[in-house]
């Protein structure tokens, strides 16, 4: 599924190419193929391009948002970061890598939620974090 079908994000800040599995309100899996043409690689770092860790966390959050927004209780809402806990970065992610994103929503209420995200490359852990978010309703 194209992430734009669920997410309000758009390029250049849409950091998921496809959502490949979704269990509404519970979990989602997706991926982000890094081509090397992304603007941030030119400055992070010249001669040794590396995906910024904060963008790894954001891409996980976007996959988690897709899982939340696929649940009819949250359709049309806007999930916003409420916090990031226990983020750990385990390996460098570089142009040509495909970031495999897996998020499980552990707790959901009408106004907030919490999930656990993992990003891997070729099955090797690149990043993991607990993601907290708040849900804003359309006005």
Q: Which of 9, 26, 44, 130 is catalytic?
A: 44
User: Residue 49 carries which DSSP code?
Assistant: -
Query: Quick check: is 9 catalytic?
Result: no
CB 96 within 8 A of CB 83: no
Decide: helix, strand or coil at residue 32. strand
Residue 126 class from Cβ within 10 Å (0-12 exposed, 13-18 middle, 19+ buried)? buried
For the stretch 50-75, what's the b/e string if a residue is b when 16 or more beta carbons lie within 10 angstroms of its beta carbon? Answer: ebebebbbbbbbbbbbbbbbbbeebe
Task: Residue 121: count other Cβ atoms within 10 Å of its Cβ.
Answer: 20
Q: Which two tokens stand for residue 41?
A: 């690689």
Q: Give the residue numbers annotated as catalytic, written as ranges.
A: 44
């Amino acid at each position: 599924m194209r992430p734009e079908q669920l997410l309000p994000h758009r390029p250049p800040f849409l950091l998921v190419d496809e959502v490949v599995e979704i269990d509404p309100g519970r979990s989602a899996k997706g991926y982000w193929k890094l081509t090397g043409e992304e603007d941030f690689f030119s400055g992070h770092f010249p001669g040794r391009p590396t995906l910024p860790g904060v963008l790894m966390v954001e891409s996980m959050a976007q996959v988690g948002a897709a899982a939340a927004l696929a649940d009819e209780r949250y359709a049309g809402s806007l999930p916003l970061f409420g916090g990031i806990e226990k983020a750990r970065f385990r390996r460098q992610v570089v142009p040509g890598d495909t970031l495999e994103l897996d998020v499980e929503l552990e707790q959901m209420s009408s106004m907030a939620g919490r999930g656990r995200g993992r990003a891997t490359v070729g099955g090797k852990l690149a990043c993991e974090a607990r993601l907290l978010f708040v849900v804003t309703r359309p006005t």
